[in-house]
Every structure is written in C-alpha cells, then in structure tokens.
Amino acid sequence: MNAPEIHLHQDDLPDAVRFGDSVAIDTETMGLNPLRDRLCLVQLSAGDGVCHLVQLRDGTFAAPNLKALLTDPKVTKLFHFARFDLAALKHYLDVDCSPVYCTKIASKLARTFTDRHGLKDLCRELIGKDMSKQQQSSDWGAETLTPEQLKYAASDVLYLHEIRRKLDEMLAREGRSELAKSCFEFLPTRSALDLTGWSDVDIFAH
C-alpha cells in the first residue's frame, strides 16, 4: 500500500463522502474511561488507502452525517476492540452502531494458538505490515493535531478490511463464523453494560 491519503474534517463528515458496504472505524479519546474522557477524533476508511478523520472540537457532538453512517443498517462497521469504541460513540454521539465486526474478538476465536491479539500483532502476523504505536498516548484534545498524530490515527483503520478477510477465512475453516457473528451482535449490549456500571462484572458468572 502506498502512503495513505488522509483527510481531516472538523466536527462532521462532508456530505459527499461514502464508504460502500463496510467502513473501518476507530476513536481517539482523552483517556480510557468513556464516561469521563472526551471523544476527540473518529477515524474512518473503506480499506482503499484513504482515511477520513473527524475532529470533534465544539463539544456539541452534532455530526449528523457521521451519525447517519454509524447507524446505517446497510453498512458494516469494522472495529478493533469494538467494546470501547461503541461505548464512546454511544456516550458522546448517542448512536447505536449496527451491524458491527470486531477484529479483536475474531482473532481470539480464530487464533487460539496465541495470546497476541493486539492490532499491531494482527497487522504484522496476518498481512505483514509493521505499525508504530508511538502516538498512542498523546493529547488528542489539542486544537491542532500533529502530522504524526494524524498518521498514527489513520493507521488504526487502514488495514482492518484486509485483516477481516484473513480472519474470516480462519473462522470459516475452524467452524466458528456463526459464533463470531453472535459475539458481534452482543457487543452493543456489552458496551451498554460498561456505561451503566458493570464494566468489571461478569454477569454470566455463578
């Protein structure tokens, strides 16, 4: 893949942007607690080497075009660790994303021979791409994002389509495609539990 084409937008997606029937999505927040740490950036890609970044600056989180995409039932939303992103999007944009696909869950179901399910691991082991995580802990609430931040944010979505194809092959081979689908369908509920106080509780435990 050539150098990614990155487009930065303020507060919403432009009217004309389309992603087809599946869009890779990631979020950047001020921290890891969606109830406390503001949603700052939403990254989106159709898997074509182009990334659209929506910087949410004004605190109102209106973003009608972005919300329409996130709730479009004809567009599958691809995430890595969807549990967190869905909670952040629900809390700040008040949207329920569906249908969804999580490469982290797919990896845990398909790649039971390893405990390495991070996005960096999947990129390297499944598609031969090396990712830098240098900007992972940085100030995403800054008024002006650095070129390094933009490149890092884009990298989190550019490869998810390719990774999904590899994982889907493994899930089908191991007879776990339907199990993965059921897990994906439960994800909005899992995120709702996180937002309402059950983040550290296994409600299925004895």
pLDDT in tens, 17-69: 999 999 999 999 999 999 999 999 999 999 999 999 999 986 779 999 999 99
Q: For position 132, what pLDDT does the model report?
A: 78
Residue 34: cis peptide before it, omega within 30 degrees of 0: no
Query: What local confidence, expressed as pLDDT, does residue 59 receive?
Result: 74
- In angstroms, the CA 40 to CA 59 distance is 9
Q: b vs e for 59-75, b when ≥16 Cβ sit within 10 Å of the residue's Cβ?
A: eebebebbbebbebeeb
In eight-state DSSP terms, residue 80 is S
> pLDDT tens digits for 165-203?
999 999 999 999 999 999 999 999 999 999 999 999 999
Structure tokens at 32: 């890891």
- Any idea what the Cα angle at residue 192 is, between residues 186 and 198, rounded to 5°? 105
pLDDT reading at 143 higher than 70 = yes
- Categorize the per-residue pLDDT at 135 as very low, low, confident or very high, splitting at 50, 70 and 90: low
Query: What's the whole-model pTM score?
Result: 0.95
**Percent over 90 (pLDDT), the chain:** 93
Each residue of 66-118: pLDDT tens digit?
999 999 999 999 999 999 999 999 999 999 999 999 999 999 999 999 999 99
Question: What domains does the chain contain, in order, with CATH numbers?
Answer: 5-195 (3.30.420.10)
Average confidence (pLDDT) over 133-138? 74
Q: What is the mean pLDDT of the chain?
A: 95
pLDDT higher than 60, residue 1 = no
d(CA 113, CA 51): 32
- Is residue 184 a contact partner of residue 100, using CB atoms and an 8 Å limit? yes
